Structures are given as C-alpha cells and as structure tokens.
Amino acid sequence: MNILVTGANGQLGEEIKRKVNEIGNGHPDHDSSEANYYIFTDRDELDITDEKAVDKFVKENFVNVIVNCAAYTNVDKAQEDRDLAYSLNALGPLNLALAAKAVGAVLIHISTDYVFGGTYNTPLPPIEQTDPAFVPADKDKNFYGYSKMVGEDLIQQSGCKYLIFRTSWLYSSHHKNFVKTMYNLKKKGASPKVVYDQVGSPTSAENLADFLVWIIESNTSETRYLSKQGVYNFANNGVASWYDLTMGVYGDNSAIVNPCRSEEYPSPVKRPNYSVLDVSLTEKTFDYDIHYWRFALNNVIYELETQEQ
C-alpha cells in the first residue's frame, strides 16, 4: 500500500516518521517487495486546504491510506484566527475525505477531546462512537474544538472509508508541548503554578504513532483493521490533572510544584474540565493494549534526559 501522512513535520507526524524508519518503510515480517510505502508531506509539499491539489496528489501517488496529522492546534489563537483554523480543521479533512472516496482509500483522521463542550461533568469518561452525554463544543467559547468537530462530521458525511481517533493532551520529547515545558522548568529549578481542576488523559505521541503504524502494518485479510470504520478514542490509560502530570515530570522535586485553580489562568477558551477518554472500544476492536500514562511519561522523560547526554 501507499500511505500518505499529512502534517508530517508536526509532533505526531515526526513520531510516525521515526516509527516507519525503524521498520524500514514496511512490516519487519514482510518481504521487501511487499513493504508498504509511506509518503510524508507537510504544508510545503501538500496544502490540505487546496481541494484540487489534494485530489491530484492522491490520484497521482496511488494512495491507499491517508493519515491526517495536519491541524491548526493553537487553541487560544483559534478564537481569533477562525478562518485559518476552520480551513485546516474542517475543510482540509473534507478535501482529504473526498480524495480518499474518489480512489477508494481509507482516511485515518486525528481528532481531539476538545470536541467535547467543556461541560462534561459526569464521573465516567467519554466513550467512543456516539455518547448520549456528548455536549458539542461551542464555537463562541471553543472554536478550536468546534472546528475539529465539524471536521469529524464532514468526514462522516463524505461517504469515504474512515477511522477517526480522538486523542488528548498530546506530548513528546520534541516540539513545543506541556511536558517538555515542565521538564525545562524542572531543569531550571523553577516552581511552576499548575491547575489541578482540569482532568484528562495525557497521551504520548510516540504511543499513538506506534498504534497507527501498527494497525496499518498489521492489516491483513484476517484482521482487516482498516475496515473497522468508526469514531474511536486513543489516549494513554489512566486519569490525571495537569498538576498530576507535572508531578510526574518533577518526580522527587514535586514538592515545589504549586497547585492552583483554572480561574487563576484566565483564557478566552472554555476548556473541557473533565475529558478523560475511555479507550476500551479501541483496545477491543484492534486487539491492542494501550500503556498507562505514567509508564508512557517515564519513557519520554528518559528520552529527554538522553538528548542531553
């Protein structure tokens, strides 16, 4: 198969590149002549907001699977930069979906817990597929989440074959992210103030990349993972607040981390105060065990420490 990965220079795209390099652009159990071929693009190579360019690229490269990692991810700035956020998070995925439909390809789209409207106060995690307690994102209070939600809807209405994975609190050992910021503050001996009343599911971009490549490489006539159409969650197992996550980074120095409430950090965006994702359907459908968040975090911290040596 030919697999197109968009947004390849972003946090998740970089992790997919690394995983593919490890397996040599194909499954290690496959003969080289049967290896899958990955095509990595970022905006300079393929602008997903350009419908004609997307259609042409997919057809000319005989694409069988599209993994869409491209997105507008600046949550606060999206409140003001609405046109670009909507183009990248809603219209871009639609263009990919229409191109996929035209050639019979499968679209794997990465979405977010921000599609939940911020009033999800049930003690149970949001489940996959259609959750009766789902409160959609309000475009006036959370335009980023709204634009991602529209992107999901447009994909499902396009008639293409799709897999949508909602993830949350994504981090890695590279690019700008919360864990890396806290790690750098720890190295400086800083005492950060971190909110404890927003609870979610921290997710290692490396773990998500491993999963995505795994379902592509393990897709056989027996498993048919790429035919399991639907909306799923992928996040590391467990529950944490931003304060808990910071404590995990600081380790023995966690006593100098100061807990605070969200109101001490005013924001133009209404963030989900409880967006723990239930991943049981993902684990069952794809026969895959997802790591606990503390285990995944320790691996990333080890990578950060290794980079300094």
CA 289 distance to own-chain centroid: 17
Asked if 15 contacts 172 with a C-beta cutoff of 8 angstroms, the reply is: yes
Pick the catalytic residue: 38, 72, 114, 144?
144
Starting at the edge strand found earlier in the chain, the sheet holding 106-112 runs 37-40, 2-6, 65-68, 106-112, 161-167, 230-233
Asked if 109 contacts 152 with a C-beta cutoff of 8 angstroms, the reply is: yes
Nearest to 198 by CA among 272, 260, 263, 257: 272
**What's the CA gap between 258 and 12, in Å, rounded?**
30
Q: Is 144 a catalytic residue?
A: yes
Phi, psi torsion values for 89, nearest 5 degrees = -95, -20
* Catalytic residue numbers, as ranges: 144
